[in-house]
Structure 1
Amino acid sequence: MGKPRDETMIRRSRYVIGIVCLLIGSLFLTESWWKDRVATSNSKRVTEAIQLQQPDRGEFDFETVEPLSWDDLLNVRNRFHDLPTIGMITIPDIDLELPILYGLDNENLAVGAGTMRASQQMGRGNYALAGHYTQSPTALFGPLHTIKTGTMIYVTDLTNTYQYRTEALETVPPTRIDVLDETTDATITLITCTFDATERLIVKGELVQTTPYISN
Structure 2
Amino acid sequence: MSRRQRKLKETKNKVNIRLTLGIIFLIAAICLLLVKPLKSHLLNENISEYESNKSKILSNASKNAKKEKKNISKGDYNFDKVERLNLQTVVNAKNKVDFDNASGAIAIPEINLSLPIFDALNNYNLAYGAGTMKENQVMGSGNYALAGHNYPDSPKILFSPLVKINQGNVIYLTDFSFIYIYNTLSITTIKPTQVDVINDTDGVTELTLITCNNDGSLRHMVKATYSGKIPVSEASQDMKNAFGYDFN
Q: TM-score, normalised by structure 2?
A: 0.72
Aligned residues of 1:83 and 1:101 also touching (Cα < 8 A)? no
User: Distance in 2 between the 1:37 and 1:99 partners?
Assistant: 15
The Cα shift of 1:77 comes to 1.8
Unaligned 5+ segments in structure 2 are: 1-22, 234-244
Q: Compare the two structures and name the one with the higher helix fraction.
A: 2
1:98/1:139 CA distance change after superposition, 3 Å: same
In the TM superposition, what is the alpha-carbon distance from 1:105 to its structure 2 partner? 0.9
| 1:59-208 alignment runs, 5 A limit | 59-81=76-98, 84-135=101-152, 136-183=154-201, 184-208=203-227
Q: 1:40 aligns with which of 37, 47, 51?
A: 47
CA RMSD of aligned residues (A): 2.3
Matches of 1:79 and 1:107 in 2, distance apart?
6
* Preserved contact between residue 127 and residue 189 of structure 1 (Cα < 8 Å): yes
1:46/1:176 CA distance change after superposition, 3 Å: farther
Letter in 2 for 1:150: G
Flag structure 1 segments of 5+ consecutive residues without an equivalent.
1-16
Which amino acid letter does the alignment assign opposite residue 69 of structure 1?
N
Count of residue pairs brought into register by the alignment = 198
Aligned counterpart, 1:4: none
Give, in whole Å, the separation in 1 of the partners of 2:133 and 2:50.
19
1:30 paired residue number:
37
Q: How many percent of aligned residue pairs carry the same amino acid?
A: 35
Please say if residues 93 and 151 of structure 1, whose CA atoms lie closer than 8 Å, have aligned partners that are also in contact: yes
What letter matches 2:219 in structure 1?
R
SS of corresponding position for 2:214: coil
For 2:71, which of 32, 56, 62 is the aligned residue? Answer: 56
What amino acid does structure 1 have at the position aligned with 2:179? Answer: T
- 1:211 correspondence with 2:239: no
Runs (4+) off by over 6 Å:
20-23
1-side partners of 2:53 and 2:97: how far apart?
A: 6
Aligned-pair CA distance for 1:27: 2.1
* Larger strand proportion of the pair: 1
1:29 CA drift (Å): 5.3
Match of 1:7 in 2: none
Contact 1:39 1:139 in 2 (8 A): no
Shift of 1:31: 3.7
SS at match of 2:124: helix
TM-score (norm 1): 0.82
Q: Distance in 2 between matches of 1:62 and 1:170?
A: 20
